[in-house]
Amino acid sequence: MTDEPTAADVRRAYPDWTVYQGTDLRWRARLTNAKPPVPVVVGEDLADLLEEIQREISHADELTRQARQPDQNAPGR
pLDDT in tens, 3-39: 899 999 999 999 999 999 999 999 999 999 888 877 7
Instruction: Kindly state whether residue 74 falls inside one of the protein's structural domains.
Output: no
Q: C-alpha angle 20/22/25, rounded to 5°?
A: 110
pLDDT the model gives residue 74: 62
In terms of residue numbers, what domain contains 18? Answer: 7-66
Q: What percent of the chain has pLDDT over 70?
A: 88
Instruction: Kindly state whether residue 45 falls inside one of the protein's structural domains.
Output: yes
Q: Are 60 and 52 in contact (CB under 8 A)?
A: no
Instruction: Kindly state whether residue 15 falls inside one of the protein's structural domains.
Output: yes
Total-model pTM: 0.79
Number of domains, the chain? 1
Instruction: Kindly state whether residue 75 falls inside one of the protein's structural domains.
Output: no
- 72 secondary structure, DSSP code: T
Strand partners, 42: 28
**Which among 31, 25, 60 has a CA at the least distance from the CA of 43?**
25
Average pLDDT of the chain is 89
Instruction: Kindly state whether residue 72 falls inside one of the protein's structural domains.
Output: no
